[in-house]
Amino acid sequence: MKPSQHDAPIETAQAQPGGSQSSQFQPLGQSQLEPVELAEECALAIAYNGLNQAVMMVSPIDLEDFVVGFSLGSGIVESAQDIYDIRIGGTGSGRHAEVEIANRAFWKLKQQRRQLPGNASCGLCGVEALEQALPQLPVMPVAALPPAHWLQDLRQRIDGFQPLGQSCGAVHAALFIDARGELLLSREDIGRHNALDKLIGALKRNGHEVAGGVAVVTSRCSLELIHKVQRAGIPTLVSLSAPTSLAASWARQHNLNLIHLPRNGPPRVYSPANAAAERAD
């Protein structure tokens, strides 16, 4: 796998080519056209060892990071070392990723596909699909909550880590604060799950240590994001939007620190449930 493009500090990064496209709009009631940058979107078909697995709508940037994070976050592989090669192809609105994975991971993937009963209008149905939506994941080791000053003015500080969002909007961001409290890197995408997958993929591909770190998502926090952070081994998740009740309950049951950072007011610690009084300054 090739190294990520974001080894340099994100503060100096510019929106990558392919992240947006020039367009025009007409103000209501006026005749002139105004230029505007719009977030780009494409379909990415992912195949593992030649077996088609998924088609995802993504921002066509940091696609190798996305493939690694998607593979880990979906439980297709247990480790980034199980991914031997990634080949990205295609242009425009249609892209494809050919992924070579370890035989043991591919065998497990094929077994899961055989057990899956299929799709229905209401989504996946059946016991196996329910087990995939609510997987049996190990309880995480108890980790200290981040110091309160790490989160001070965080909403303002992350603006510089969102070049695509600043230039055209319509994208989510996922960011990582390392064990020293420094904003290390960020990934952006039209999809909130995709942004987090890209972040996790970038962390794994670059060998960054996640112990003691914090994942930050600018989107709402549902159960799937909890699963991804848990599988990545990141002990704390901070969300700029409130979590669902199921996400908060799952985090408490699995020792994942879950914090909501409201626009107005102090951070709200949802998990561990009794940790609000233990926050350090």
Active site residues: 122
The closest of 231, 229, 236 to 213, measured between CA atoms, is 236
Answer yes or no: are the C-beta atoms of 205 and 227 closer than 8 Å. no
Greatest CA span in the chain, whole angstroms?
61
Residue 21's nearest CA partner among 202, 170, 172, 217 is 170
150-153: long-range contacts at Cβ-Cβ below 8 A with a sequence spacing of 24 or more? 150/177, 150/181, 150/214, 151/238, 151/259, 151/261, 151/267
Q: Are 149 and 180 in contact (CB under 8 A)?
A: no
